[in-house]
Amino acid sequence: MKKIIWFGLMTLAFSPLMVHADETATSGSDNPVAVSETLSSEGQTDSEQIQNSAQESTAEDQETDQSATSETTADENQEPVDSEAVIASIQAETGTQNVNEINTLADEPSSLRSALTQGITEGSVTAFTQEQLDQLTDEELTNGNRLALRYSSDAMGFDIAYLAKIIGALFVDQTLSWEAIEPQLAFDANSYASFADLIPVVDQLQEYLRVVYPADGVFLHLNQAVSNEWMISILTNLNQMEQEMQVDPGAFVPGRISYIIQAANDSMYLPTGTQTSTTEEATATSTSAQETATTTSSKEANATADGEKTLPKTNEAPSYTLLIAGVILLLIVFLILWRRKKK
């Protein structure tokens, strides 16, 4: 019995040393403070990387904004449309050098048919054959000549071969629709005193260009979409050029439509609002990216802080050795007292 009591007392005496050894082992193997500091350091590193990325993105967007501003300045200072450049563009597309020949052709269908027959015989007219020409009515020839004269008025004249190409597109290949084009001929840009007078009828001008000068047509056409805002900017700048040239109304050569198409195809006179809108979108994108990076950094920092709170610190490792030893000792004492009382 005495041995049992001594065993319990010795267990109780040496239990703090066992607890200390357990804590020392735990501290040596898994240092919570070191882990916490490591996680915190990694969180700060990721946060700094995100912020640096956002700053680099902001710098790139600022460079884009400066480039857009530079382009705007360049557009505002660019040279006006040159009439010689317009003529050269038309000549390159039509393949003719004579700017007035179409105006010398007679309007009578018989004269047109004779001129076309002669062109087929000489080999200059290749848009259709003699048999196809014979199947064309006088009305179709007259309507084809009407469109050719309008093209000549809007831009400049061309030879009999290109006249045949226009007639062929209307009534042989039917890549152009006379039914759609004829109502549009009531609109004549050259009947207006200036480019500025076309601004109030910009919608009608846009429809005229879309139908009479389609992308799959045989003459000039817009190679990109032009908004009303851009069209008004083109008309405003061309009007200033016209005033500086001091051209009499109705004597603008080449015609006004050719200048409008040339300016649009060369992306001239872009409205200031277009550049401003682009700059605002870039700025908004930059701000959004920076806010997103800041939010992500904040969330990661909070997550790191939460992680630090949940990790165990020094001397907080739980140990049940002392508790178990105390329970055993109490059982032993209780057992001794019970046996003595029984005796």
pLDDT digits (tens, 9 = 90+) for 50-61: 555 555 555 555
**Token code pair at residue 59:** 């710098």
For residue 332, pLDDT beyond 70:
yes
Assign 39 a pLDDT band (cuts: 50, 70, 90): very low
Calculate the average pLDDT of the chain.
74
Which residue range forms the structural domain that includes residue 188?
Answer: 82-270
Span 140-168, pLDDT tens digits: 999 999 999 999 889 887 788 889 999 99
Q: Evaluate whether residue 194 is within a structural domain.
A: yes
Assign 343 a pLDDT band (cuts: 50, 70, 90): low
Mean pLDDT check: name the lowest of 137-151, 222-236, 287-301, 323-337: 287-301
Q: Evaluate whether residue 35 is within a structural domain.
A: no
Q: Evaluate whether residue 154 is within a structural domain.
A: yes
Domain count, the chain: 1
Span 228-252, pLDDT tens digits: 999 999 999 999 988 887 666 555 5
Q: Evaluate whether residue 313 is within a structural domain.
A: no
For the chain, how many residues are written? 343
Percentage of the chain surpassing pLDDT 70? 56
Q: Evaluate whether residue 328 is within a structural domain.
A: no
Q: What is the Cα–Cα distance from 309 to 10, expressed in whole angstroms?
A: 38
Q: Evaluate whether residue 128 is within a structural domain.
A: yes
Give every CB contact of residue 96 below 8 A, 6+ residues apart in sequence: 158, 159, 161, 162
Q: Evaluate whether residue 127 is within a structural domain.
A: yes
What is the amino acid identity at position 337?
A: L
Q: What is the Cα–Cα distance from 159 to 237, expressed in whole angstroms?
A: 32
Q: Evaluate whether residue 25 is within a structural domain.
A: no
Predicted model pTM: 0.58
Task: Report which of residues 92 and 167 the model is more confident about.
Answer: 167
Mean pLDDT check: name the lowest of 233-237, 301-305, 325-329: 301-305
DSSP H or E stretch at residue 291: helix 272-310
